[in-house]
Amino acid sequence: MEVSDIKEKILKLVYSKNKSDFDEKPKTRRVFVVYNPRSSKAIHVRESVIKPLQEVSGVMFGKYEVKPTDVDDNAAELAKILEDGDIVITAGGDGTATIGLNGCMLSGKDVRFAAVPFGNFNDMARTLNKASGQELYPLEAKIDGVHYRYAACYFTIGMFAESTEIFDSDKTRKKLQKGNKKISFSIWTLMKWFFKNKKRVFIPSFKIDSTIKIYDKNGVFQNRVKSLDEAETKGVSDYLAVNGLTVAKMMKGGKNYYSHKTDFLSTTKKLNRLYRLVPFMAKSILCKIPAQVTVEDVITFPNYGDVEIQAEGEYKRFEHIGKIVISKSEKSLKIL
């Protein structure tokens, strides 16, 4: 979303006389910009986002500077300062947007959220722009019964999740920061990583119970539980849950699942062989990710195990876990 559009939307909210949550007189609202002051693009954020928004009349302006800890710590800190009526704007890549999304959701407050893209992939900004003026229902991951994180666009587990680490290397980051690199650079970087790591086991032995939706030609659906045991999931390298428009900028998510209260796409695949990976990527890039409409996925590790989970490019490795549950959050988030 362009900053000029954000300014216009803020002014409409602040000076509206026709909405039940606003007074007849101009009501002062708080606007927070979330950004990383250590980012190579921080100076552009200050000039093109912070300064213009500071000029908006009728609002109190504030900044949340991302701390050098991690996504979850920053989201928790942001949540503490939010109040009903606040507007949160993130200016950065998907990592910064993830902090904003999770901060808004964890706050439990009635806030509005938007993202200005300054990253390499900007999946969340792309989805939020499409969802402007709507309510977004993010995915939620729970690990061993405890909330882990919200994701507007996607979660991945396994090979795709671990491959994300390559974009955090100093060498790759420097190349990405030298102007606008084409998507071919990202694909080439990932393929080199793939050939080095394809023989690894990315997900420990697991079984999965998926509550899926089966639609007939008239649009009528039935919920069915599809189960795969440990023998059937042997060799699976990846699990994907998709809620947004794109995954890593390249792969298409399909319909607007982000606005649905229960539905998302999910799939398990054996993608650590080139003859399987290439057709999957071709379908995902040219059409949409080949996956099923799902309401809930319960992934169980009978012998417990170590696994990497990624959401919007932000990854974390967990040790000795028994169960991961992926579903839509019961709470929605208003998008500016």
CATH fold for domain 146-164+198-330: Tumour Suppressor Smad4 (2.60.200)
Q: What is the pTM (predicted TM-score) of this model?
A: 0.90
Q: Which CATH superfamily includes the segment(s) 3-119?
A: Response regulator (3.40.50.2300)
Region 243-259: what's the mean pLDDT?
92
Q: Is the pLDDT of residue 173 over 60?
A: no
pLDDT at residue 22, rounded to an integer:
46
**Residues 196-220 pLDDT 10s:** 888 889 999 999 999 998 888 787 8
Q: Is the fold of 3-119 the same as that of 146-164+198-330?
A: no
pLDDT tier for residue 156 given thresholds of 50, 70 and 90: very high
CA distances (Å), 190 to each of 36, 161, 183, 196, in order? 26, 12, 11, 10
Sorted by where each begins, the domain ranges of the chain are: 3-119, 146-164+198-330
Region 177-184: what's the mean pLDDT?
57
**Residues 272-303 pLDDT 10s:** 999 999 999 999 999 999 999 999 999 999 99
